[in-house]
Structure 1
Amino acid sequence: MKLYRLHATQQLPITPEEAWNFLSNPENLQKITPARMGFQILSGTERPMYPGQIIQYNVSPIPGIRTRWVSEITHVEPGSYFVDEQRFGPYSLWHHKHFIKKTDGGVLMEDIVDYKLPLGILGSLAHPIFVRKQLSEIFRHREKALTDMFGSLPGRPTTFTIETL
């Protein structure tokens, strides 16, 4: 069983409150997801984020194949962090921590995703060929979308890594 960790950081010239208001609203996920993924929220966004919240959406991780993704918000510390976990979807495990930290001139947004692929050895073979590339594309798209919306902090590069645990 291979477990992977994606770690991404991005600094933005906004307040922690602005960052929290944007990131904690599940409806904004569509704004920072590549259009080719066909992201569509089905339910669960009627109230502000809270522990136990179930959010359902459709997504197309592979062109022409749509799947239902069901996430639960398991932990929330308003203004600081939240955790979403996949309950049903394309991964065997998806545990995504979102952190917001105040910095000079803005905020540092940090994502840590621990994930496992289904299908045993086939999933492990698909990771370097397809999954790693797709996750990199998704998070690079997100980085650009957030920069386009909020600007950037000069001299403060973003980071992105995926490692096997």
Structure 2
Amino acid sequence: MIYTIETDQTLHRPLDDVFPFFADAGNLEAITPPELRFSIATPLPIEMRPGALIEYRLTLYGIRFRWLTEISVWEPGVRFVDQQLLGPFALWHHEHRFSSTGSNSTRIQDTVHYALPLDPFGRLAHPLVRRQLDRIFDYRTEQVDALLGGQP
């Protein structure tokens, strides 16, 4: 079964400030909950482009995972998509969209489509996984607000 997460955030910063922050994979550690022990294994800086591969390490439910994603779409200032090639999910497709909502305001919209492995057990575990993903995205929103300027 494929599940979806959607988030929407507006910052008091121009798009020209916001997009480069998200385009720098090195900023992921700052916006990821510390309990995940998230780290980027790919040497930095990473040239963001279609086909770029980024390898991470993280801990979920006490288990250390290797996560490999590919940037499948790269439209600077507009959107990018990362897709899991190897990791804890059966499917992970994350689209990040950016739009200017004024001279000093940027809207960030994320859509994640994901599926859990080991169906039907994945379906049984989904409520627990969904709570964790909601926590991760809530933390990310809080950290982005703190680092880049918050809500209007």
Which TM bucket (shorter chain)? Answer: over 0.9
- Given the alignment, which residue of 75, 79, 82 partners 2:80? 82
Q: How many residues end up aligned between the 2 structures?
A: 151
Q: Which 5+ residue runs of structure 1 have no aligned equivalent?
A: 155-165
Native 8 Å contact 1:45 1:55 kept in 2: no
Rounded to whole Å, the distance in 1 between the matches of 2:6 and 2:141 is 13
Would you say 1:140 and 2:142 are equivalent positions?
Answer: no
Q: Look up the equivalent residue of 1:141 and give its one-letter code.
A: Y
Q: TM-score, normalised by structure 1?
A: 0.88
Rounded to whole Å, the distance in 1 between the matches of 2:55 and 2:137 is 20
Cα offset, 1:17, TM superposition? 1.2
Rounded to whole Å, the distance in 2 between the matches of 1:35 and 1:121 is 30
Q: Look up the equivalent residue of 1:99 and give its one-letter code.
A: R
1:120 partner SS: coil
Q: Give the match for residue 99 of structure 1.
A: 97
Q: TM-score, normalised by structure 2?
A: 0.95
- Give per-residue Cα distances to partners, 1:23-46, cap 9 Å, x unaligned: 011111111000000001111543
Rounded to whole Å, the distance in 1 between the matches of 2:26 and 2:79 is 17
2:41 partner SS: strand
Native 8 Å contact 2:56 2:68 kept in 1: yes
Q: Look up the equivalent residue of 1:132 and give its one-letter code.
A: R
Q: Look up the equivalent residue of 1:101 and give its one-letter code.
A: S
1:142 partner SS: helix
Q: Which 5+ residue runs of structure 2 have no aligned equivalent?
A: none
Q: Look up the equivalent residue of 1:29 and give its one-letter code.
A: L
Correspondence 1:2-151 to 2 at 5 A = 2-43=1-42, 45-63=44-62, 65-104=63-102, 105-128=104-127, 130-151=128-149
Cα offset, 1:62, TM superposition? 1.2
Root-mean-square deviation (Å): 1.1
Native 8 Å contact 1:33 1:141 kept in 2: yes
Native 8 Å contact 1:44 1:54 kept in 2: no
Q: Look up the equivalent residue of 2:11 and give its one-letter code.
A: L
Q: Give the match for residue 158 of structure 1.
A: none
- Give per-residue Cα distances to partners, 1:61-110, cap 9 Å, x unaligned: 112x1010000001100111000000000000000000001003400000
1:21 partner SS: helix
